[in-house]
Amino acid sequence: MLGQARSYHAAALLTNGKVLVAGGNIFNDKTNRAEIYNTKTNSWKFTGDLSASRADHTAILLPNGKVLVAGGEGFNSASAEIYDPADETWSSAGDLKTARIDHTVTLLKNGQVLVIGGLGSGYASLASAEIYPKGLGFPPPKPPTISGINLLLLD
């Protein structure tokens, strides 16, 4: 059983098979508490706390094994944090360009994260999407090559 009842939280499967559950609402108050579910022992334990309480946010496993948690209702709906399962700590990951809740995130083949839609200021639906800023701890994609010749790709 979870150590703390919650709703509107986010979860991500870690590379070690455990599951990170972070934030959410507890009796209509946002929380910064995070827990790890051990699938082998069917047990829960608290891990490091998010720096900010948040609900209606997203969590996604990155190629480097860390987890990006972004947006959500709370202190700053544009903020993002990185969870490092190796030492069970959180660190700031900067801000999204647009504050958003109830959005989605998708890991792209190049390792970047696409953040899509959600609700913005005044709970208005957003038609925007953004590529989450680089520098999340994984190398940039290598340019494609043909017969050893580098190609320059323009946006």
The three-state secondary structure class of 123 is: helix
Note whether 18 and 38 are within 8 A (CB): yes
Interatomic CA distance for residues 35 and 42, integer angstroms: 13
88 domain-assigned: yes
pLDDT tops 60 at residue 121:
yes
154 domain-assigned: no
Tell me which residue range forms the domain holding 91: 10-141
CATH number at residue 44: 2.120.10.80
Calculate mean pLDDT across residues 106-127. Answer: 92
153 domain-assigned: no
Interatomic CA distance for residues 9 and 80, integer angstroms: 14
How confident is the model over 29-43, as pLDDT tens digits? 999 999 999 999 999
150 domain-assigned: no
The pTM of the full predicted model, rounded to 2 decimals, is 0.85
Instruction: Retrieve residue 1's tokens.
Output: 């059983």
As for how many domains the chain has, the answer is 1
Interatomic CA distance for residues 51 and 100, integer angstroms: 18
